[in-house]
Structure 1
Amino acid sequence: MAGAARPGLVSDPAIAAFLAMLSAERGAAANTLSAYARDLTGAAALIGDLTLADRTALARLGEAWAGLAPSSLARKASALRQFYGFLVADGRRADDPGDALPRLRPRRPLPRLLGHQDLAALFALAENDAATGDPAAIRLLALIELLYGSGLRATELVSLAMAAVPRDAPFLTITGKGGQQRMVPVGERAGAALRQWLRVRPAGGRHVFPSPRGGHLSRVRLFQLLRDLALRAGLDPEKVSPHVLRHAFATHLLEGGADLRVLQTLLGHADIATTQIYTHVDGARLVALVNQRHPLASNSSH
């Protein structure tokens, strides 16, 4: 199979020259050359001479490849784009029609999710630390309560202004991405932790979580504090971050029956598709939800 990738064994001279360049200049492995040879000769079999193909012809390739797995489609399209880049660079072609090839939108990685037991361990330790009266421990408890209890972004949390914390309403006024403001409810636990922190917070400054050097607590310091707490709680510190707690807030509300549109508002997402990613839950729970809540679920005849 590897022999099929050798430039001398490929009948199309342009493809052979491209493979020779990959081998000589990039040190491409035999398996890589073989895969590129198959992809390019296969494309040529569908649309004819690749050196003469226009954007319309390449668009037809996308249609022919529609049933392929995303990984296969991405590899084939990449091979063609590199091939046309080579033709232009080598003076064999004046234009590059490669942008007519299909492009896959990369899947956003799902955030890590802490289980209920892990969260309980994390909060139990934070509460025990805060019970000592240490202001730093009380601050950390308030920070994690707001991350998990209100779903704030790390930047929104550390930059929270005193003016955003009203005295007579259980809401925070958050300025999120793009300068968009939203009202975020503060649960009883988070509210109690916040009030406890405000009682011991150093005087002065405009931020709820001020920095000793002026300004506010940094995002980097917030990450460090969380990971240190996770380590002391017996958790993998690599699995704990402000975003993980924000994701847990959204996911656990969804598990409790919260509406996706409500979560979109609480999280400050402009696009509902982003909320759907953050609130990923396992398929088994969704099946159980349909079985329990669907109007026909209890009707055995359907």
Structure 2
Amino acid sequence: MKLEDVLKEYYYYCEAKGFTKKTLINKRQELKQLLEYVVEKRAITELESITSFDLKAYVRMKQIKGLQPQSIVSMFKTIHAFFSWCVREEYLEVNIASKVDTPKVQKKVINAFTGKEVQDMVASFTFKNYLEARNKAIIAMLADTGLRAMEIRGLQFTNVKETTILVNGKGNKERIVFISPALKRILIKYERLRKENFLNKNITSNYFLSYQGAGLSHVALDSVVKEAGKRAGVTTKKVSPHVFRHFYAVACLSEGGMDVYSLSRLLGHADVSVTQRYLHSMNDEQLLNKAIASSPLMHLR
């Protein structure tokens, strides 16, 4: 069976599954590169002719070109998923990608925000105008819900309710996160200024809008976060939406006493093992407090 024909079928399968546009583009680009490699470098056109040795050579080629380990691992997940699908469709008997080792990725230690730094970043914006209120609400929501950057940008106005937010996460998977009273106070003021600023104007359905009433770009959101760090004097740490997500996760585990399974659902992780990584980021004091709070003897009467 022609590899090119099987790939076309797989693309339609992915579209039917409802993958995001970005995911579909990434899959097409990577699998197109694999197709070109096996045809041009290995003289293979049939799906059944590809072996694990061909895939190992493909990974090695990527390494020689200087692709970073994390990028190779991400790339190969796409290839592995394709061959898994081929097995399910009975085009292949085994997933040959399972026999290929990928580089080990060195885990990066994220220097998380302190509670004081987050408090200062939220307080660095005011309610004097729409943009100030919007930025304040963005920082507060990032810190209090742990939403991803793409989830903040794609958040729909109708999905922000009284006490809950319906989030459209990775792979178009929906989940519910909750609005604390502290966050709600900020959102109420933001929504009031949003309504006044865009009265009788055509705007998109996004919850957070640019000054012109359009959705926020990745660059625009990143600029808001970096401005918060600059105003609050956070200069020794990376300031990004993901670090706020990290802060939220560690705070829930260490201070909120939340279990890792509940946190996994709130963060939208497909696998709880991803959430467990945040446990490794807790410092000794946080672990001590958690241990004391969980002590059986401390709860005896």
Is the Cα contact below 8 Å between 2:144 and 2:248 reproduced in 1? Answer: yes
Q: Could you tell me how far 1:292 is from its partner in structure 2?
A: 4.9
Residue of structure 2 equivalent to 1:185: 178
Change (3 A) 1:165 1:291: closer
User: Does the residue aligned with 1:239 lie in a helix, a strand or coil?
Assistant: coil
Residue of structure 2 equivalent to 1:47: none
Provide the rounded CA distance (Å) in 1 between the counterparts of 2:215 and 2:299.
55
**Corresponding letter in the other structure for 1:195:** I
- Alignment of 1:170 onto 2:171: no
- Alignment of 1:295 onto 2:296: yes
Q: Could you tell me how far 1:290 is from its partner in structure 2?
A: 2.7
Q: Could you tell me how far 1:239 is from its partner in structure 2?
A: 2.1
Change (3 A) 1:298 1:258: closer
- Alignment of 1:195 onto 2:194: no
Provide the rounded CA distance (Å) in 2 between the counterparts of 1:284 and 1:124.
26
Write out aligned runs for 1:48-197 (5 A).
Answer: 105-126=104-125, 129-130=126-127, 133-166=128-161, 169-197=162-190
Q: Which has the higher contact order (CA 8 A, sep 6+)?
A: 2
Provide the rounded CA distance (Å) in 1 between the counterparts of 2:149 and 2:192.
22
Is the Cα contact below 8 Å between 1:227 and 1:238 reproduced in 2? Answer: no
Provide the rounded CA distance (Å) in 2 between the counterparts of 1:190 and 1:296.
36
Change (3 A) 1:200 1:296: closer
Residue of structure 1 equivalent to 2:243: 244
User: Any gaps of 5 or more consecutive residues in structure 2?
Assistant: 1-52, 54-68, 70-97
User: Does the residue aligned with 2:124 lie in a helix, a strand or coil?
Assistant: helix
Is the Cα contact below 8 Å between 2:166 and 2:175 reproduced in 1? Answer: yes
- Alignment of 1:267 onto 2:267: yes
Is the Cα contact below 8 Å between 2:229 and 2:239 reproduced in 1? Answer: yes
Task: State the number of aligned residues.
Answer: 197
Provide the rounded CA distance (Å) in 1 between the counterparts of 2:232 and 2:258.
29
Q: Could you tell me how far 1:296 is from its partner in structure 2?
A: 5.4
Q: Could you tell me how far 1:156 is from its partner in structure 2?
A: 0.4
Residue of structure 2 equivalent to 1:278: 278
Task: Give structure 1 regions of 4+ aligned residues with deviation exceeding 3 angstroms.
Answer: 99-105, 212-215, 296-299
Q: Could you tell me how far 1:111 is from its partner in structure 2?
A: 2.9
Is the Cα contact below 8 Å between 1:170 and 1:185 reproduced in 2? Answer: yes
Provide the rounded CA distance (Å) in 2 between the counterparts of 1:207 and 1:143.
13
Q: Deviations over 1:167-216 (max 9, x none)?
A: xx300100100111001101112212122111121243211112345640
Change (3 A) 1:105 1:189: same
Provide the rounded CA distance (Å) in 2 between the counterparts of 1:115 and 1:138.
23
- Give the alignment's TM-score, normalised by structure 2: 0.58
User: Does the residue aligned with 1:172 lie in a helix, a strand or coil?
Assistant: strand
Provide the rounded CA distance (Å) in 2 between the counterparts of 1:176 and 1:100.
31
Q: Deviations over 1:11-55 (max 9, x none)?
A: xxxxxxxxxxxxxxxxxxxxxxxxxxxxxxxxxxxxxxxxxxxx9
Change (3 A) 1:242 1:186: same
Q: CA RMSD in A?
A: 2.8
